[in-house]
Amino acid sequence: MATLTMLEQAPSPKSVNRGAEEFNDLTTETANAASEGLDTKSALEIARIINHEDAKVAAAVKKALPEIAIVIDTVARSLRDGGRLIYVGAGSSGRIASLDASECPPTYSTAPAQVQYIMAGGPKALASASDVNEDSPEIGQRDIARRRPTRKDIVIGVSASGRTPYVVGAVEYARARGAKTAAITCNHNTPLADVADTTVISEVGPEVISGSTRMKSASAQKMILNMITTGAMTRLGYVYDNLMVNVHMKNAKLVERGIRVLMKVCEIDRDTAIRTIKSAGKSIPIAVVMLKANVDKMEAVRRLTKSDGNVRLAIDDSRLEL
């Protein structure tokens, strides 16, 4: 028997009105005066309108920097303590979250389990719409329950509207089990904010295409998630200066990047960099510590183990005793 749609279920007038009122309160769903008559514009005019609206995104994110900083430190503590960062999202928000999670292993050599994502509708929803599941808080609770969140973890709900039932249900469940929680939204006073420990709000305003939160809202979410994982990995010492010292060299481009990073950090020539990387077992962190601290591979490994992978602390072994 086919699943009934919301309209076929004939909700009561009271519930319809309440839902409409909540929907109307979302700035991401309101009409944008700047893009009125968009369908009558030339290609260049459309591009200019979108570009003008996109220019507002960074300013909206800037207002949320204090909350973003709180989340960065919470993520860093969770990962340092052996916990996980688990994103939960649906639709465009879920796809942005999955992208951020997927890029952490090649960028910082993190284990796949350390930064995860849960998507309404499962992995297949990354390529094709599966929006029915996002209306169910119970399915959200079920999906996060399978990951068994604990007090060591942080679960971040990503939802432009801040009211996606699937995401709200998952975050509420995780918090009840002791996990730290955060919300990434583009609207104020939302159900998701009510169930999260920390809420990051980037109020980007109405979209050029009303309600199309794959546009400014998604751009803001991408910027925020980049800040969170980049900031957390930097706080953990997986970045030295502003260089990607924890890069996982699994293809030609990343091998070349690793060589250049070592040359820059240690001020050495290319041949020396290549020889050191080979002797370090193709590990850039080990190679950096070997050269900067003038130690052999075994000692470099010991220091990195003692510092939980923090390259700067491993180089200055005296700081590890503090």
- Choice among 134, 138, 207, 321 that is catalytic: 134
CA distance 221 to 4: 32
- Choice among 103, 203, 267, 299 that is catalytic: 103
Is 103 assigned a catalytic role?
yes
Is 134 assigned a catalytic role?
yes
CA distance 208 to 52: 10
Q: Which two tokens stand for residue 8?
A: 């076929």
Which has the closest alpha carbon to 139: 179, 173, 92? 173
Q: Read off the amino acid at residue 73.
A: D
Q: In 10 A of CB 314, how many CB atoms?
A: 29
103 alpha-carbon distance from chain centroid: 10
Q: 160 φ, ψ to 5°? A: -60, -45
CA distance 219 to 170: 23
Which has the closest alpha carbon to 229: 279, 151, 156? 156
Q: 267 φ, ψ to 5°? A: 55, 55
Q: Are 205 and 32 in contact (CB under 8 A)?
A: yes
Q: Point out the residues that are catalytic.
A: 103, 134
